[in-house]
Structure 1
Amino acid sequence: MTQAKTPLKKNFPVFDCDAHINDPYEIWNKYVEPQYRDLVRHSYWQDEKQAILNGRTVAIGGASYNFPGYNPICIAGPGMNKKIMRKLQQTPLTPDQKTYLEHRGAYDPHARLKDMDLMGIDQVLIIPTMMVANFPYIENAEGAYALTRAYNNWATDFCAAVPDRLFPAGWLPLQNPGYTVQELERIARKGFRVALVRPIDARGQYPNRIFPILGSGTIRNTMDKVYRAFEETGIVVGMHTFPALPAEPWPVPVSPGELIMRTGDQFIGGRMVDGQTLSFIFEAMTWLAQVLLSGFLDIYPKLKMAIFESNSSWVPELLEHCDRLFKLYANERRVKTDRLPSEAFYQQCTIAFESDETWTFRQWDRFENVGIWSSDAYHHDGADSWSAMREMNEIGVPGPVQEKLLGGNARRLYGIEGKMFVTEEPKQIPRPDWFPKPEEIAAFAESEADPRAHGKTGFSVSKMDPRFVLEMLRNF
């Protein structure tokens, strides 16, 4: 029999710097301005039936019917952990059971507050999900701008339900730098503290293109004015990565993580290397290395940047490597800077970490002032703050440092007043009879931990991520 853990208590407010909603259909059917609805329908449209990109490509939209088991975008709520979710992934579920596992807080602000109380989260930054995956591939800049306004207006209303606990991250129409500047100025007036950028080369728009580009006798718009607007508005750059499976076919790679998909064995039915394993980290490392080695942060000295959903234990090694290269290639550098990459990082950047990043906790002195905790709820790898505290306690992270990592650093970055609503971990969350019992979960986890046991698992197409299925079908 498994032994129940003693409930934890906390005496400081926890700020969740990266938690998600499952982009609700009302963004499209209610918040897109009527005069732009047809344009958005041919740019990126999502409804109860499907998600369509550029009027031609079916995309994953986050609906339950996209997934053979539970919806992985809405699963990681109160009392859930990776062992439970892994067990449920291998369990046949009825429609009612799937509905039970789909947390309404992914759509409803009041339902979210109840979940936050149980998860030990006092305040949270709300971030979209499939918008991060699909939106960068929109071809029509006007359609992208109209959908951006719709999302940001929806996010404003969602968070206005409880404005001292829910905070929106803005979305941007990076297809057009001029529109992006206008939207940054607009959401700054609304009180947004963060706006999101994904570091990929979708449609030839990698976000480090800040110098003039000559072509056909004209000078193309660059991202320089965008980063100037970030500085002027004080909005934080939220660099958010994602799995690298392209939303629609493209002749060249657009994400550093695409190599994972191109070299994995998913096409021969073997043991797949999922794009989620390294894609997030590859996108983040590529972006951060360019930022640090190029002198980018010296061009924009007032810029503040947070790197989301990319783990964090790799940061110290990358900083040491960049410091060495910075000296080695000093003659090739075009931008004058007096700071080492590590110095620039610690002065202008922060990095999100999740609850199970043991190596980050062991290096807590490297992250004390730049680490910001994220639940990543309700995504399938999400977790509550209690599990992070328990892990830190076991490693011996000092209490004042935990307070910084779990909220203080994020609130300082965003300029948000901390408020505490939760002080004690719930003892037990009531579950229906069909829900796996602690003994079942423990036995399953022990079996799963045996590397020799995995060969006994039968391959089933029904359990494949539907994104892989769609990718394979594109060849026929």
Structure 2
Amino acid sequence: MLPENFRAFDADNHYYEALDAFTRHLEPEFRKRCMQWAQVDGKTRLLVGGKVNKFIPDPTFSRLAQPGVLENWFRGTATGSLIEQFGELEPTRPEYRDRDARLRAMDELGLDGAMFFPTLGVGMEQALIHDIPALCAAFRAFNRWLDEDWGFAYQERIFAAPYFTLADPENAVRELEWALGRDARVIVMQYGPIRTDRGWTSPGDPALEPFWALAAEAGVTVVYHGGNSAYAQLVSWWGESHEMEAFRATPMRGLISPEPIADTIAALLSYGVLARHPRLRIAAIETGADWIPPLFQRLKKSYSQLPHAWAEDPRETLRQRLWVSPFHENDLTALREVIGVERIMLGSDWPHTEGIARPLDFAKDLDAAGFGADEQVRVMRTNAESLVRRLP
């Protein structure tokens, strides 16, 4: 049980982007190549690279379902259709777009602090992957909007993460230098392989070494957050649409086995990024956690068969470098056994529908999984809070 009047630190909160999040600070020469708004069949649609984007059904966020209404759906305990679970939509609440209103909402939710991530933004990189200069320009503009509207460390309670694409390694380094100068504590990017002007590559590509070195030296936390990755192309090989659309998953899309987050972490390990940079902290948020035990099994086999290929046991490297925010429906007991309680974090996904309406309710799942009082405090506060503090 948590102590009385306990206040948590949430590793996964979200805002709903302003209409001009990608355009307010966009360099004029890219205006027709990045994000634009248009009226299509009487509805306001988002054009990305001149094409209607379907990642979010209503990217204006004019009418929204209440936080956490799909919790039981994701636990597999809901009855009725998915549409029925949404209930009546409501206008956008002030706390979804205003940081001071959000602080008041956090007080009501029992949150002392939280990491904040995009809602729309995590689905935009693949939409511009064919135009890398425009992709970089779009997220330069986005990050400046984010700093202006939310701040990277507002009141030492809201820690909004600027978004990074590694498609242009030199741009990524410049952008990281800028973000560090604005006191960014966490940064966010998409998992999966990286498309550069030389083709597809790994996050362990030598061209990215300056980026990883700077991130490690600065002590900033690098977050891989769920969204639309290059693996959307993979599902098209099985006859599925290559476009990811929220709440329009098919059974096949949910059953295809490869895990882009697991493969991304494997790449950081096998290319030596994590071993070379012992100060580098990686967090996997809104990616679930059921992929972690199988990855550890594969790492055990690889280290046994190819010990000369590893600078150290990759399982131990991962236990030191990776933090994870599991889904509330994941096997928390198995996760603790593999990665340790010191690396597990509350991530409510508030105010998204698939998250937890009351973040402190996650303690009930921890209690059911046999986590003791001290362990619950670590998961509900200490572990995530440590990641927004720069390493000395």
Q: Does 1:194 align with 2:186?
A: yes
Aligned counterpart for 2:355 among listed residues 362, 373, 382:
382
> Computing the radius of gyration over CA atoms, which structure comes out larger, 1 or 2?
1
| Residue in structure 1 matched with residue 245 of structure 2 by the alignment | none
Please tell me whether residue 263 in structure 1 is matched to residue 238 in structure 2. Answer: yes
Equivalence for 1:468: none
Deviation at 1:264, TM superposition (A): 6.7
Q: Considering only aligned residues, what root-mean-square deviation do their CA atoms show, in Å?
A: 3.6
Deviation digits for residues 373-413 of structure 1, max 9, x if unmatched?
21112333111323211122233311111111112111112
The share of aligned pairs that are identical, in percent, is 19
Rounded Cα–Cα distance in structure 1 between residues aligned with 2:202 and 2:17: 24
For the structure 1 residues 173 and 326, does the alpha-carbon distance in structure 2 shift closer, same or farther, using more than 3 Å as the test? same
Aligned pair partner of 1:123 in 113, 116, 123 = 113
Partner of 1:22: 16
Which residue is equivalent to 2:298? 321
Rounded to whole Å, the distance in 2 between the matches of 1:88 and 1:119 is 29
Residue 134, structure 1, aligned to residue 124, structure 2: yes
CA distance in 1, matches of 2:302, 2:2: 44
Structure 1 residues 52 and 79, CA gap change in structure 2 (3 angstroms):
closer
Structure with the bigger percentage of strand: 2
Q: What secondary structure sits across from 2:177 in the alignment?
A: helix
User: Is contact 2:68-2:355 (8 Å) kept?
Assistant: no
Q: Residue in 1 aligned with 2:281?
A: 304
Alpha-carbon distance in structure 2 between the residues aligned to 1:281 and 1:116: 36
Give the superposition deviation at 1:143. Answer: 3.0
Shift of residue 151 of structure 1?
1.8
Q: TM-score, normalised by structure 1?
A: 0.68
Q: Paired residues, what number?
A: 372
Q: Return the match for 1:231 from 216, 219, 223.
A: 216
Say which structure is richer in helix.
1
Partners of 2:96 and 2:258 in 1: how far apart? 25
The CA distance in 2 between the partners of 1:196 and 1:397, in whole Å, is 29
Question: In the superposition, relative to structure 1, how do residues 306 and 132 fare at CA in structure 2: closer, same or farther (>3 Å)?
Answer: same
The alpha-carbon deviation at position 18 of structure 1 amounts to 1.9
Alignment correspondent of 1:448? none
Preserved contact between residue 195 and residue 235 of structure 1 (Cα < 8 Å): yes
Distance 1:305 1:108 in 2: 28
1:264 and 1:273 in contact (8 A); partners too: no
Shift of the alpha carbon at 1:345?
0.7
Paired residues of 1:126 and 1:169 also in contact (CA < 8 A): yes
Given that 1:31 and 1:154 are in contact with CA atoms closer than 8 Å, whether structure 2 keeps it comes out as yes
Q: Alpha-carbon deviation of 1:112? A: 2.8
The equivalent of 1:403 in structure 2 is: 377
Cα distance, 1:282 vs structure 2: 0.8
Separation of aligned partners in 2, 1:290 and 1:47: 40
Q: List alignment gaps of at least 5 residues for structure 2.
A: 243-248
CA deviation map 1:42-96 (0-9, x unaligned)? 1333578322222x321126363799xx96xx535278743599768434999xx
Are the equivalent residues in 1 in contact too, given 2:36–2:48 (CA < 8 A)?
yes
Which residue among 363, 369, 387 is the counterpart of 1:413?
387
Deviations 1:136-183 (A, max 9, x none): 442444433332232222222333495222111011242311111011
Q: 2:82 and 2:340 mapped to 1: Cα distance?
A: 34
Q: What pairs up with 1:32-51 in 2 under 5 angstroms? A: 32=26, 36-46=27-37, 49-51=44-46
Classify 1:412/1:279 alpha carbon distance in 2 versus 1 (closer, same or farther; 3 Å).
farther
Contact residue 309 and residue 352 of structure 1 kept, 8 A: yes
Gaps spanning 5+ residues in structure 1: where? 1-6, 212-221, 245-253, 417-476
1:393 aligns with 2:367: yes
Tell me by how many angstroms 1:316 deviates. Answer: 2.9
Q: 2: CA distance between counterparts of 1:87 and 1:121? A: 32
Contact in 1 for aligned 2:23/2:35 (Cα 8 Å): no
CA gap 1:278/1:18 in 2 versus in 1, 3 angstroms: farther
Whether 1:145 and 2:145 are equivalent positions in the alignment is no
One-letter amino acid of the counterpart of residue 30, structure 1: R
One-letter identity of the residue aligned with 2:103? L
1:3 alignment partner in structure 2: none
What is the Cα deviation at residue 38 of structure 1? 4.2
Deviation at 1:230, TM superposition (A): 1.0
Distance 1:308 1:274, change over 3 A: farther
How far did 1:415 drift?
0.8
DSSP-derived class of the 2:115 partner:
strand
Distance 1:197 1:78, change over 3 A: closer
Instruction: Tell me the residue number matched to 2:159.
Output: 167
Separation in structure 1 between the aligned mates of residue 354 and residue 33 of structure 2, nearest angstrom: 33
Match for residue 341 of structure 2 among 320, 344, 368: 368
Residue 428 of structure 1 aligns with which residue? Answer: none
Q: Distance in 1 between the 2:121 and 2:258 partners?
A: 19
**Given that residues 15 and 406 in structure 1 are in contact (C-alpha distance below 8 angstroms), is that contact kept between their aligned partners in structure 2?**
yes
Task: Name the aligned partner's letter for residue 44 of structure 1.
Answer: M
CA–CA separation in structure 2 for the residues paired with 1:63 and 1:52: 13
1:307 Cα shift? 1.2
Partners of 2:192 and 2:261 within 8 A in 1:
no
Is this contact kept in 1: 2:45–2:59, CA < 8 A?
no
Q: CA deviation at 1:185?
A: 0.7
Give me the whole-angstrom Cα distance separating, in 2, the residues matched to 1:115 and 1:124. 12
* Partners of 1:125 and 1:169 within 8 A in 2: yes
CA distance in 1, matches of 2:5, 2:85: 41
* Change over 3 Å in CA distance of 1:8–1:79 after alignment to 2: farther
Alignment partner of 1:109 out of 96, 99, 116:
99
Asked whether the 8 Å contact 1:170–1:187 carries over to 2, the reply is yes
Shift of 1:260: 4.4
SS at match of 1:364: helix
CA contact (8 A) 2:193 2:203 kept: no
Residues 82 and 47 of structure 1: CA distance in aligned 2, closer, same or farther (over 3 Å): farther
What is aligned with 1:156? 147
On the 8 A contact 2:162/2:179 being kept in 1, the answer is: yes
